[in-house]
Amino acid sequence: MTADLFDLPQARPVSRAPAPPVSLAEGAVLLPGLALSDAPALLAAIHAIALITPFSRMETPGGRLMSVAMTACGEYGWCSDRNGYRYTTTSPLTGEPWLPIPDIFVTVVRRATAAAGYPEPPLQSCLINRYEPGARLSLHQDRDEDAPHMPIVSISLGVAAIFLWGGLHRSDPVRRLRLTHGDVVVWGGPSRFVFHGIAPLARSSHPNTGDCRFNLTFRQIRA
Ligand SMILES: O=C(O)CCC(=O)C(=O)O
Ligand SMILES: [Fe+2]
């Protein structure tokens, strides 16, 4: 059973010693705990968005139901159905434009982009992923965007997950990195099209999210 965010105790900041950045490859860095102090506000904003633009499990072009539930905010939201993957300016569920990206998201994305050494934050689209136990994202490249010069910023919240970090070819060796509450990964430049994914989420519990993991990914869609 997945607890609703409503049922959980008010999220409180969790203290953890800041850890130094971990370089993953040229242009890619893990920033441990960079979003930790803002995690309660990020989760509250996710909850507020989901009340208006609910999470849904979308169909792949091949007709399978994705295990990850998604919603979005920003100018563009990512969608998948029988016709393929694409970005839309309205939610297919509500027919309404996606909600604007909340200020607290913008603050954290700016901090992350600067810490990773990129001049500009990607802020046209925020995909919001919700993983329940067993949910996964198989190895893929993010290539539905028309702004290859802009990095991707990814924020992890709640239950820890194993991030699969490969190379530019699907057959390249894959590293397994543990992403915990408040961790941020930025990848761009020569790493923009690195294959990555999330291993099936282990059954576990986090004080602020129950048995779920949330992930925010920020992207520029049009050059
Ligand atoms: O959940 C994550 O950490 C990765 C998400 C991702 O790769 C994607 O949404 O394209
Ligand atoms: Fe991705």
Average pLDDT of span 7-24: 68
pLDDT for the residue 1:
37
**Residue 47 known to bind ligand:** no
pLDDT exceeds cutoff 70 at 170: yes
User: Could you tell me if the CB of 71 is within 6 A of ligand 1?
Assistant: no
| Fold category of 21-219 in CATH | Jelly Rolls (2.60.120)
Nearest atom in ligand 1 to the alpha carbon of residue 163 is 3
Query: Could you say which DSSP state residue 4 is in?
Result: P
Ligand with minimal distance to 69 CA = 1
Question: pLDDT band at residue 2, thresholds of 50, 70 and 90?
Answer: very low
Torsion of CA 39, 199, 133, 101, to 10 degrees: 30
For the Cβ of 198 lying below 6 angstroms from any atom of ligand 1, the answer is yes
The residue-averaged pLDDT of 30-39 equals 98
What's the rounded mean pLDDT across residues 148-159? 98
pLDDT attached to residue 17: 63
Span 131-138, average pLDDT: 98
Q: What's the pTM?
A: 0.94
Quick one: pLDDT at residue 78? 96
Tell me the pLDDT tens digit for each residue of 45-96.
999 999 999 999 999 999 999 999 999 999 999 999 999 999 999 999 999 9
Atom of ligand 1 nearest to the CA of 196: 7
Q: State the pLDDT at residue 118.
A: 98
**pLDDT of 9 strictly over 50:** no
Average pLDDT, the chain: 94
Indicate whether 216 pLDDT > 60: yes
Whether the CB-CB separation of 119 and 27 falls below 8 Å is answered with: no
Using CA atoms in the order 128, 43, 30, 99, what is the torsion angle rounded to 10 degrees? 40
ipTM of this model? 0.99
* For range 125-140, the mean pLDDT: 98
Share of the chain above pLDDT 90, in %: 91
215 lines ligand 1 (CB under 6 A): yes
Task: List, in sequence order, every beta strand (DSSP E) within 65-195.
Answer: 69-74, 77-81, 84-88, 125-131, 137-140, 152-158, 161-165, 175-179, 184-187
Q: Which of 71, 129, 132, 216 has the most ligand 1 atoms within 8 A of CB, as the residue to mutate?
A: 129
Ligand 1 atom nearest to 142, measured from its CA? 10
Reduce the DSSP state of residue 56 to 3 states and report it: strand
Confidence of residue 195 (pLDDT cuts 50, 70, 90): very high
Distance (Å) of CA 3 to CA 151, 172, 178: 33, 37, 23
The reply, when asked if residue 144 is annotated as ligand binding, is: yes
CB-hemisphere CA count at 13 Å for 51? 7
Total residues belonging to the chain: 223
Residue nearest to atom 8 of ligand 1 (CA): 217
Model confidence at 6, in pLDDT bands (50, 70, 90)? Answer: very low
C-alpha torsion sign, points 77, 80, 81, 86? positive
Cβ of 213 closer than 6 Å to ligand 1, yes or no, is no
Is a pLDDT exceeding 70 seen at residue 8? no
Residue whose CA lies nearest to ligand 1 atom number 3: 215
Cβ of 91 closer than 6 Å to ligand 1, yes or no, is no
